[in-house]
Structure 1
């Protein structure tokens, strides 16, 4: 299942939704396998079951909002996320937030905000609240800046 998620994400080229789903699936699978191994013992089926459940949950969480958006909405949302992560955070200043609105439907919009900055500014926990065709969706994620300077979502 993990391999299928990664391979399917690769088929989409630069589609960030597919990449996020693949990463979420992979991270969920690894986390689930580790938890299953811890709880069930070294040579148990717990690691396999944990990996499968973790992969499914990881894929769903990464895709919680994105799969409900069209291409233009995803582009605006992803741009808001990227700009939020690149915004400097000053001590004693309000934490940054970014808003986005659908180019096709003004009732589809969202806000992404930094909740917590840790590890000397190298990691940020962000919260997104999106309103997609009348439904409120909320999710939180932690991102850390890697050695290459890119922000990556943490499992």
Structure 2
């Protein structure tokens, strides 16, 4: 397919504009003194968030509790805030109001590395390779021994 020189230049200019917008985003503040939680329940306490000033709230005074070692699912209509809850928990942004905590510790008091070590997201489209369960679990750590995989499986809710 033939693409004109002008079209290519427009695509490049558009891509550069998006990169500049991304690079202009100020990083979220990092806690000077971090604190790891001793328990792992997750709590949204009166959280409100909107993507841009002037927009309606994607979440408005939302309070949720996810007990530690439990399996929870966010279910709702398109636009109900499921993705927003997940993004806020992973701290892609901070809410305009309220607090999100893990084990009673505000996630803003955790370093990005600490927060990432506490959270795992399972996407709704789950993919397994056409192989054994053992091989699928080893994808994340190919050098894992069979015993390590068998010990890890129940922690991932694999019977």
Counting helix residues as a fraction of each chain, which structure ranks higher? 1
For Structure 1 versus Structure 2, the TM-score category normalised by the shorter chain is under 0.3
Counting strand residues as a fraction of each chain, which structure ranks higher? 1
TM-score (normalizing by structure 2)? 0.24
